[in-house]
Amino acid sequence: MATTLLKKNTDQPWDSVFFAENYLRSGYDHLLALPRQMPQLSFMHIYGQRSRVPGAVIIDGGSGYCKYGWSKYDSPSGRSATFLEFGNIESPLYSRLRHFYATIYSRMQVKSSRHPVVVSVPICQYDDTDSAKAARRQLKEAMYLALYGMDVPAIVAINQATLALFAARRTSGIVVNIGFHQTSVVPILHGKVMRKIGVEVVGIGALKLTGFLREQMQQRNINFGSLYTVRSLKENLCYVALDYEAELSKDTKASLEVASDGWFTLSKERFQTGEILFQPRLAGLLAMGVQQAVALCMDHCLSADITDDEGWFKTIVLAGGSACLPGLAERLEKELHGYFPSMSNGIRVIPPPYGADSAWHGAKLISNLSTFPGSWCMTKKQFRYKSLHNVIW
């Protein structure tokens, strides 16, 4: 009965609520490592406080697509193609961001002054150089200023990779985010992106996967109406083979009807599309495979020796819509076992816990905390003070 009441109040399963209230409730600067024995919180204490938490707006915007909605809903209420409507929102241009946020509030039919907001920060400017730090500060500052300029009362902006990790009920691990243009391999310790260790980047993203499938279809003289059709086929028919060479000898034909464009039948294209993540040369690309990028990141984490928990980087969380390809997690785990045979028992690859919406759901965890918004958000006054003293970047 108690669990049912809490799920009804927050639209979140108890295990996610339990994780959030134990490890996220104190705020970003006080994230807890997962202890060997998890502390217990009173259910009625949690339920009573969570029932009084104000509704928040959640905005997860990337270079490809944006998801937005209410913290009390179980999924985003709206989506838009960011790259078509707004251009590159990762470029810290105030006017572009202001238009982006204003459009979202207009579509949600809500006054921006009435609700706090949790907004994701795109995974960009990866390294730890002074120029990259300055670019990240400029982007984050533009995001805050655009929202405060719309009279938003309180804001928290969190890296997309960190939010995806929270959605998987982790505060430490490696996030492999297959974004619109590229794939990022992000080491995160206690919620903080470890740029000193190194964020690896592979120049293959969702757009390249869709483009490769389109080329394969054109070579077979398969006619289609639009790139939307190709994307639908990728999302519904494609998968990643556990053994690519063995898969080539199998009959892998499958068909799908795409609305307004008819029936399509794919064969080897189904697994060859996802294979370019592991063998970019199949698409004529000079890049390392995603398995190599993750192995390199893990090796850097192992060498860093920065925590007593020597296995924090053995958990790999996949994120992004294209990371939902069936078989991807199993294949990556197999490849990593080959790179690290001595620690293979501890390596675990977790598929996107909420599909393409993992970062949005990570933000939802924060926005429904019993201590929200006080423990996470900044008011305009707090922002001015912290910005002046250079402590929020």
**For residue 104, what are the domain limits?**
2-169+356-388
The model's pTM is 0.91
Cα torsion 334, 338, 344, 349: sign: negative
Same-domain pairing of 105 and 219: no
Same-domain pairing of 121 and 8: yes
Same-domain pairing of 96 and 28: yes
The per-residue pLDDT for 37 is 45
The pLDDT tens digits for 262-290 are: 999 999 999 999 999 999 999 999 999 99
In this structure, is residue 140 part of a structural domain? yes
The pLDDT tens digits for 57-68 are: 999 988 788 999
Same-domain pairing of 186 and 235: no
Choosing from 257, 282, 307, the residue where a domain stops is 282
The pLDDT tens digits for 69-118 are: 999 899 999 999 887 777 776 665 788 889 999 999 999 999 999 999 99
Same-domain pairing of 350 and 365: no
In this structure, is residue 393 part of a structural domain? no
Which contacts of 211-215 are long-range, i.e. CB under 8 A and separated by 24 or more positions?
212/272, 212/273, 212/276, 212/283, 213/238, 213/269, 213/273
Average confidence (pLDDT) over 180-190: 95
Alpha-carbon distance 31 to 28, whole Å?
6
Average confidence (pLDDT) over 145-161: 95
Same-domain pairing of 227 and 375: no
Same-domain pairing of 17 and 47: yes
Domain harbouring 310, CATH code: 3.30.420.40
Give ∠ CA 234-240-245 in degrees, rounded to 5.
Answer: 125
The pLDDT tens digits for 343-385 are: 878 999 999 999 999 999 999 999 999 888 888 999 999 888 8
pLDDT band at 388 (very low <50, low <70, confident <90, very high): low
Number of domains, the chain: 3
Cα torsion 5, 10, 14, 18: sign: negative
Alpha-carbon distance 204 to 296, whole Å?
17
Mean pLDDT score of the chain: 88
Same-domain pairing of 103 and 251: no
In this structure, is residue 270 part of a structural domain? yes
Q: Say whether pLDDT at 193 is over 90.
A: yes
Same-domain pairing of 222 and 341: no
Q: Say whether pLDDT at 38 is over 70.
A: no
Same-domain pairing of 121 and 30: yes
Count Cβ atoms within 10 A of the Cβ of residue 226 and give its class: 0-12 exposed, 13-18 middle, 19 or more buried: exposed
Domain harbouring 250, CATH code: 3.90.640.10
